[in-house]
Structure 1
Amino acid sequence: MDISSPLKRATRRSRLLGASLAAIGMVAVGMAASLPALADNTTPTYQPWTGTTQGKATQKLIADLKAKIAQAEKDQAGSPDFLDDLKKSIAEFEAATAVSQAQPFLDNFSDGEFATNPTWKVTAGQWQVDKSGSNRGLVSKIRQGGNLNSLLGNLLNQQGQQQNSNAQYAAIYTKAKLPGFFTASTKFTSKDRYGGLQLALYQGASAQNQYRVAYQPGNNQAFLLQKVTASGAQTLGAYNGAVNLEDGKAHELVMTRDSSGKMTVLLDGQTAISAADTSLTGDFDGILVTNVGGSYWLREVAVKPLQ
């Protein structure tokens, strides 16, 4: 992206805020060969080998290690820091194993609808697929914006509400088994310099836990990276400065999280936010997109594993 890009221009006006157990390592190497490959659009000739015997042996090893650590803590037979490191290594190994069972996700709405393959469900406002003109994709238009931080939970249980032109926000989601360490992205076009667009990976039937990235056109904090729980929304990082993407071009907004909890937000390949959080663990249950004011055309939504 050249010097004339929106993020480059805004950068001139502002600044960005900004081992493992040897035994477990050996098990991880062995497990890599036995885990099923991530799903794609082709039909496999053979069914994935699940490695039942090795899987049971791994589970027993992990259970034995946990038992020995617990006994060592009880008997005060080891350094507390060392034992904490062992427990952390086991937790990281278990999380990495769980992630390998999650699936990548991609929808570019090229089929002209969002009701099937995959299934998106509208919970507020109006959404449709526009296949014509320079602006195309999954489109939502809201004349006035809602409160970003008030949109915390229960967005998945609002079906049938606010299905009118005066809605203060529009929300749509799809269920999918997604990795806890990920690259989540959307390619979109924005028309109005107000309101905002949110892309979130959520956990739970009511999306009570989320990691989300928000674009706020015209705002002095153009991008926010947030964690959402039942306690509310916590801002993990922000881009301080206004960025206007309303230039008729498609832009890519990316949110990443690696196995150490390091998170980044990128606009068109350039880092806007760097932060870290490890409090949400395990896989995610789906994707939630929310329009809190403005007109947006989502050309693509994608999630893939990031180790």
Structure 2
Amino acid sequence: MKKLLLGMALCLISFQLHASEARYSSWSDPNKEVSQNTDALKNMIRELNDLVNEAEQARAADPRFLQDLKNLTNRYGQTTVPRVALQDDFADGNFTENPVWQVVSGKYWIEKGYGLRSFVDGSSTTSNAESSSARKVSKEELLIGVLGAVLGGKTQSQPQEQTQDTSVVSVAEIYTDQAISNSFEIDMDMSSWVAAGHLEFGPYQGTNRQTGYRLVYQGGQSPALQLVRHYSNSAAVVARYDTLKLEDQKNHKLVWKRGSGGRITVRVDDTVVIDVNDHSFKDDFTGFILTNKKGDFTVKSISILNAQ
């Protein structure tokens, strides 16, 4: 028995020595292999989703088979863990850092207990330049002007009345530069306090912030919600939802998702209001923009998750 135990101990020691030699003989970064495999899986799922969508539009295969493929890619596509691109509940009372929001026009402020707020009344008045050019010239001013020209400019007219610039800002716009993947999830708690409001928001590409998706909410109108595809010089409506009313002075939960296959869904308070496929933008987005064109809106919190 002792010889047997000794033999087993020697075998165990020999095995450990060989394992140690094998362990330290060569080294490769396992994270690199996992990352490469994950990227390959993502690319395969993205390409397969594109093929399924094309086959669906061309009616090139049995719809049940295409649905099975969609379910398969969705199941494996959801194994990737989203990472936070942006998260802000404005509880610190400051929107100028962590993350940094930049106001382009209008006024934004933190309403304690409510979040990021902006108000635009939507009215317009004549600007100072327009009122100056449209102001009629009196006969006295014309006579003084003629005399001044005859006398070589020695005669001066009476001081003109200074008109005050009563123009108002027609848009309140704010944005934040944050890297947002092509597939994303935007969760936003918001409230609307004035009827017939007009709010636009979404991810953008490039430094001019013109290219990207916009969700356009117009209270009291039909359609009340539109998904718009924006380019620098053009725009097109991708989907619409006719009836939606948020002017009850309560927070509403909006969840906007875009999958790797181009499927876009928008839920408002657990109700799906938009479900559409769009493959317009292939590159990642560079930031998020919020534009109040009319109304009194408050964003209590917002988070953006990168899905890849």
Q: What TM-score do the two structures reach when normalised by structure 1?
A: 0.59
Counterpart position of 2:101: 120
RMSD, aligned CA: 3.0
Task: Say if 1:53 and 1:265 are closer, same or farther in 2 by CA, change over 3 A.
Answer: closer
Q: Which residue of 2 aligns with 1:294?
A: 295
Contact 1:213-1:265 within 8 A present in 2 as well: no
Q: Which runs of 4+ in 1 moved over 2 A?
A: 52-56, 99-104
In structure 2, relative to structure 1, the CA distance for the partners of 1:53 and 1:210 (3 Å cut) is closer
* Bigger Cα Rg: 2
Q: Which residue of 1 aligns with 2:191?
A: 189
Is contact 1:143–1:166 with CA below 8 Å preserved after alignment?
no
Mapping of residues 146-295 of structure 1, within 5 Å: 166-241=168-243, 243-295=244-296
Q: Is the 1:125–1:170 Cα contact (8 Å) retained in structure 2?
A: yes
The residue identity in structure 1 corresponding to 2:119 is: K
**Is the 2:204–2:287 Cα contact (8 Å) retained in structure 1?**
yes
Change (3 A) 1:145 1:170: farther
Give unmatched runs, 5+ long, in structure 1.
1-47, 63-80, 82-91, 147-163
Question: How many residues align structurally?
Answer: 203
Give the gaps of 5 or more residues in structure 2. 1-28, 44-59, 61-72, 125-165
The letter of the residue matching 1:138 is L
Could you tell me how far 1:165 is from its partner in structure 2?
A: 8.2
Following superposition, the deviation at residue 282 of structure 1 comes to: 2.0
The Cα shift of 1:200 comes to: 0.8
Whether contact under 8 Å (1:217, 1:245) holds in the other structure is yes
Q: Percent of aligned positions with the same letter in both sequences?
A: 29
Deviations 1:81-139 (Å, cap 9, x if unpaired)?
A: 9xxxxxxxxxx9xxx9xx9897532111010010100000000110001114xxx1000
After superposition, give the CA deviation of every residue in 1:151-202 in whole Å (9 maximum; x if it has no partner).
xxxxxxxxxxxxx982111110001111110111221111011131112101
Greater share of helix:
2
Distance 1:144 1:214, change over 3 A: same
Deviates more, 1:99-108 or 1:293-302: 99-108
Compared CA separation, residues 284 and 181, structure 1 to 2 (3 A): same
Matches within 5 A, 1:44-123: 51=32, 103-123=84-104
